[in-house]
A = this chain, B = another copy of it.
C-alpha cells in the first residue's frame, strides 16, 4: 500500500528539492534533517471533492489549493514550510488529470520551496486529498492560539469574505456549480480567492517577534477567532466596519455582507493578536500590511460593534458535519 509509483512520474521532478531532505520519495519513508535550532511543526488537512471544492474545479486548482490550505496552517504558527506528504484517493487513473493536478502541486511547492517527500495513491469512488505539511520554527518561537492577552489588538492580514462571496455566486446543489461554466464567469479576483488562496507564510514569519496568538481563517473569522478566545480564556470586541473586504461585499445588505465576512470560510488570511506597543512598532515598520479589527477583553464571547453601536450577530462558521 505504500507505493506511489502510479503518479511518481508526475511528481518526481515537480516539487522543489529541499536541502534538508536526505531521502525523498521512493523508499518506505522519507528521511529529513531538522535544523538544530528548530522545532518541527506539522499539520494535516483533507479535501473531499464536492465538499471542499466543487466538482467542476480544475485539477490544477485542486492541487494548488490542497497544498495552500496546509501551508496556511504552518503560516499561522509563524513556521517556515519544508515538505508535504500526499495521501491521494481517486476514482481512476487519468493521466491528463494527474498531470494537471501534480502541476498545481508543483507550482505552489516551487513558490514556497516545499518538497513532496512522501505519497500514497489509492483507488476510491470519491476524490479525496489528505496532505500533511511539515515546517520548522525556531525553538520556542511558534505563535499559538492560547496566548492572547487582554488589551491585545486583534488584526487580520487582508480582505475577508471574498472566497465565501465567490462560492455563493457559483454553488448549485450536491457539490456542483449552478452551471458548468460558473467558475469561468467569476471575475478574476473572485476566481483566485476561491481556487488559488495565498497562504500568508511571509507575514506569519514577520509576526514571530510581535504577535501573542495567531490562527488562519479557514472556517470563518468568527469561528476561528473564537478558537483563539477559547484557548486563551478571553473575549473580544470586534469593530465590523474595520474589517477589510472587497467592494462587491459593500454592495450587499449589511446582514448578508457580514454573513460572508464573519461566517464565510476559505479565506486563508491570518487572524492574530498583539500588544498595542507591538502593533505600533509593526505598522511603523510595515505600513498597510495588517488591519486592526478589534481588541481582546476579559469578558468571554464576542461583542460586535458597527459604527459605535453594539449589534447582534450569530457566529456560525463552516460545519464539518
Contacts and interface: CB of A to CB of B under 8 A. Distances in A.
A254 B72 CA distance: 55
Interface string A129-141: 0111011010000
The 9 A-B pairs with the shortest beta carbon distances in the complex, nearest first, are A87-B130, A130-B130, A132-B132, A46-B87, A29-B43, A44-B85, A34-B34, A28-B73, A32-B40
Interface of A: 1-3, 5-6, 22-23, 26-34, 36, 39-48, 51-52, 69, 73-74, 76-77, 79, 83, 85-89, 92-93, 117-126, 128, 130-132, 134-135, 137, 142, 144-146, 215-216, 218-219, 231, 265, 318, 320-321
B321 A215 contact: no
A57 to B, nearest CB: 15
A120 B44 contact: yes
Given A1-B219, A43-B85, A31 B137 contact: yes
A145 B124 CA distance: 28
A128 B125 contact: no
A81 to B, nearest CB: 11
A29 B199 CA distance: 14
A51 B46 CA distance: 19
A29 B123 contact: no
10 contacts: A1-B47, A2-B73, A28-B74, A29-B42, A44-B120, A46-B130, A47-B122, A87-B87, A89-B130, A124-B128
Given A1-B52, A36-B36, A132-B85, A320 B29 contact: no
A90 to B, nearest CB: 9
A230 B128 CA distance: 30
Contacts of A122: 46-48, 51-52, 320
Given A31-B137, A126-B125, A44 B118 contact: yes
Contact of A216 (B28, B33, B87, B265): B28
Given A44-B119, A126-B124, A128-B128, A31 B87 contact: no
B2 A43 contact: yes
B87 A44 contact: yes
B321 A23 contact: no
A14 B307 CA distance: 48
Contacts of A144: 23, 27
Contacts of A46: 1, 87-89, 120-122, 130
A120 B142 CA distance: 21
Contacts of A134: 40, 42
A243 B321 CA distance: 48
Contacts of A41: 29-32
